Amino acid sequence: MTAGKDWHAWHQPYADASSPLSRRLRLVQRHIASWLDDRPGEPLTVVSACAGQGHDLLGVLGTRADANRVRATLLEYDERNVAAAQAAVEKAALRNVTVVRANAGDRGAYVGAVPADLVLMAGVFGNVSHADVRGTISALPELCAAGATVIWTRTRRAPDLTPAVRRWLAAAGFAEQAFHAPAGELFSVGVHRFTGAPRPMTPRGRLFRFLA
């Protein structure tokens, strides 16, 4: 499933604050913080698909006095990344965050974790087939609570799929809140709000398969 790539080593550029990955992270974190600020006092649910070491969500929650109103599930397959995320959860005393070793491409992994008010799809759409990106987007109404926010990332390396991603999100009932495609960078970060009606989760079947 993840045999081809060292997904633990993939996280190393986060140690360099000037790396593109760190710049992408700061954008994602800024939107997570705004999402929390826009919904003060509410108990909120988050699911992160292919969460890696959880730098995005855990980095924000670790700085917030209101972190424990967030119930979050991080789905990650690589055991070393699961251990790193778990260590960060413990260090920040985030008592409502669970890190689960699971194949986030399986719908079953989301049972009990959704519907979520925030769905993180960071580092997913660039690692699966175009058909799986489209299929996952069309299934997002099963992961989303009413009014949920989806934060996603995608490389714009040619062929740039982001115009199609944005079209598919619109067709699935998502209104674009932000789309960052900084000049000179290959990454992009999108923020979409779910304006449609949530659908019950189908607990069986595949959303995507990682290619790397």
Ligand X SMILES: C[S@@+](CC[C@H](N)C(=O)[O-])C[C@H]1O[C@@H](n2cnc3c(N)ncnc32)[C@H](O)[C@@H]1O
Q: Which residues are at the interface with ligand X (CB under 6 A)?
A: 1-2, 7, 10, 50-52, 55, 75-78, 81, 103-105, 122-123, 127, 210
Unique residue bearing structure tokens 């669970």:
98
Q: Are 176 and 150 in contact (CB under 8 A)?
A: no
> Cβ closer to ligand X: 77 or 194?
77
DSSP for 193-208 reads EE-S-------SSBS-
CB of 4 or CB of 41, closer to ligand X: 4
Burial grade of 147 (CB within 10 A; 0-12, 13-18, 19 or more): exposed
Minimum distance, C-beta of residue 50 to ligand X, in the bound complex (Å): 3
Q: What is the smallest separation between the CB atom of 73 and ligand X, expressed in angstroms? A: 12
Looking at beta carbons only, is 98 or 196 nearer to ligand X? 98
Minimum CB separation of residue 76 from ligand X in Å reads 5
Q: Which is nearer to ligand X, 195 or 202 (CB)?
A: 202
CB of 88 to ligand X, least distance (A): 12
Q: How far apart are CA 27 and CA 185, in angstroms?
A: 13
Q: Angle, nearest 10°, between helix axes 162-171 and 130-143? A: 30
